[in-house]
A and B are shown apart, each in its own frame.
Chain A
C-alpha cells in the first residue's frame, strides 16, 4: 500500500513528526489562549472552563485525538532516535559540530534556525516535556473534581515548587519549539528565500510569546498577584 510505503520511509517518518508536531502546536495555541483568560480574572477562566466542560462528548473525542497525537509523536521520535544511533557503529574519537560557525558565515537573511543547541537536544527536551505533560494531567484533568477549576489553577500554580516547575518546563518547550517549528516546515518542503527570514524570526518569537503568556501566570501568582 502506498501510504504504508510512504510512512515507513525515512522522509515519511519525518513527515509524521512534522505533522503531529504541527497539530500539537495548534493545540498548544488553543490551550494557552484558553488559560490566558485568567489574565482577565478568575471568573473569566472559570466560565471558560465550564463552557468547555459542557461539551463533554466533543471534549472527550478531542482528548483521545490528543493522546493519539502524543503517542505518535513520541514513539516515532524515539524510533528515529534509536534508528539514527545505529548508523555510525564506530563513533569518532573527535566529533566537532560546525553548524554554529557556519551560521555566522552565512548571512542572517538566508535565515536558518539560529540555535543549534535546540536541534541537538530535541530527544531530551522531548522527554522532559512528556514528563511535564504527565504531571500536568495528574494535577489538573485527573485532579480534584469538586473544586472549581480556576481555584485549582491558582492554588497549584501559586505553589512555588509547582510554579517554578511550570516555568522550567515551558522554557524547555520553547527550546523544543524553536527547532521544531523550523524543522517541520523544512520537512514539509517549505523553504524559500522569500519567507525563510520570516520563519526564522517566528521560530524565536512564537516560543517566547508562549513562554511569556504561559509562564507569566505562575510567575505572577508566586509573586503574590491576586487574580
Chain B
C-alpha cells in the first residue's frame, strides 16, 4: 500500500467570534487510497491520542451527494480535482512532501462555527423564500398526470443536481450566491409544476439572497469551475432573465 507524508496548515477557530489562525501539523503514513476526509480522520485520531483538540469539519454521506463537506485546499474549493466534493477527493492526487493549506469556505454570509465548520443556513433561508412548489395535500396524484418531455426533465435535473455545499460562494471573487440561487430558480422554471409561482419565486429568492449579504456576480465563472456538480452559469443567465421578466411584467 502506497503511503504519503504531508504537512497540513489548517485554520483553527474556537467559535464564531474568536479570532482564528493557522496551525501546522505533520501527518505521516497516509494511505493514497484514503479520501481527504479519511485523512482528516487520521489526523484527528492522532490528535485525540495526544490529548489535543481534534480539527472540526463537517461531513455526512461521504459519497458526494449531501453537500455537507467542503473546504478550500490550497486555494481551490473542494481541492484540485474538478467535479469532486472533498469527501470524494482521494489522497492519490497528492505527492509525498506536499504542504496543504486547508481553510474554511469564507463568506460574510457563512459564519465560522468552529475550525472548518461553517454555518450555511443563509442558503436554507434563500430556499425557504421560494425554492419550492406548493402542492395541495390529499391523495397522491396519478403518476404521469403532467407529461414532461424527457429532455426537459434532464435539463431541470442538471440544475437540481446542486447539493448546496456553498463552494460557488466560497470561490466567487465577488462573494455572490448566484449559482446556487440560479440553479433552483432555473430548475423550477423549466418544469410545469414550477409555473404558478414562477414570478413570485424569482422576486422572493433574489430578495432573500440580497438580504443575506451575498455579493453581486461579476461573471468571472469561478463558481462553475469549482462546482462539484458542474452546474453551468447558464442557470445564472436564466435567473437573470426570470428576475427581469418578474420585475417588469410580474403581477
Contact B237 A83 (CB under 8 A): no
Question: Chain A, 80-116, contact with B by CB distance < 8 Å: what is the 0/1 string?
Answer: 1001101111111111111101110100000011001
Question: Chain B, 198-241, contact with A by CB distance < 8 Å: what is the 0/1 string?
Answer: 00000000110110011111111110111000000110111111
- Chain B's closest residue to A112 (CB) is B221
Chain A contacts of B240 at CB under 8 A?
Answer: 11, 14-15, 186-189
Compute how far the CA of A102 lies from the CA of B167 in the bound complex, rounded to whole angstroms.
15
Q: For B82, B174, B242, B248, which residue has the most chain A Cβ atoms within 10 angstroms?
A: B174
Contact B215 A96 (CB under 8 A): no
Chain A contacts of B221 at CB under 8 A?
Answer: 99, 102-103, 112-113, 116, 119
Indicate whether B90 reaches chain A with its CB closer than 8 angstroms: no
Given A97-B222, A98-B225, A120-B173, A87 and B213 contact (CB-CB distance below 8 Å): yes
Chain A contacts of B114 at CB under 8 A?
Answer: none
Task: Pick 29 A–B contacts, CB within 8 A, sort by A.
Answer: A9-B210, A9-B243, A10-B178, A10-B209, A11-B243, A11-B244, A80-B216, A84-B173, A84-B174, A84-B215, A89-B108, A93-B22, A94-B72, A94-B101, A97-B173, A97-B220, A98-B171, A98-B222, A99-B225, A101-B82, A102-B224, A105-B82, A112-B221, A112-B233, A120-B173, A187-B237, A188-B244, A189-B237, A189-B238
- Sorting the interface of chain A by its residue count into under 10, 10 to 19, 20 to 34 or 35 or more gives 35 or more
* A35: min CB distance to chain B, Å: 30
Compute how far the CA of A6 lies from the CA of B199 in the bound complex, rounded to whole angstroms.
13
Chain A contacts of B236 at CB under 8 A?
Answer: 186
Given A93-B101, A186-B236, A9 and B218 contact (CB-CB distance below 8 Å): no
Indicate whether A122 reaches chain B with its CB closer than 8 angstroms: yes
Contact A84 B220 (CB under 8 A): no
**Which secondary structure dominates where chain B touches chain A?**
mixed
Contact A14 B216 (CB under 8 A): yes
Chain B contacts of A170 at CB under 8 A?
Answer: none
B contact residues, total (Cβ < 8 Å): 50
- Chain B's closest residue to A77 (CB) is B218
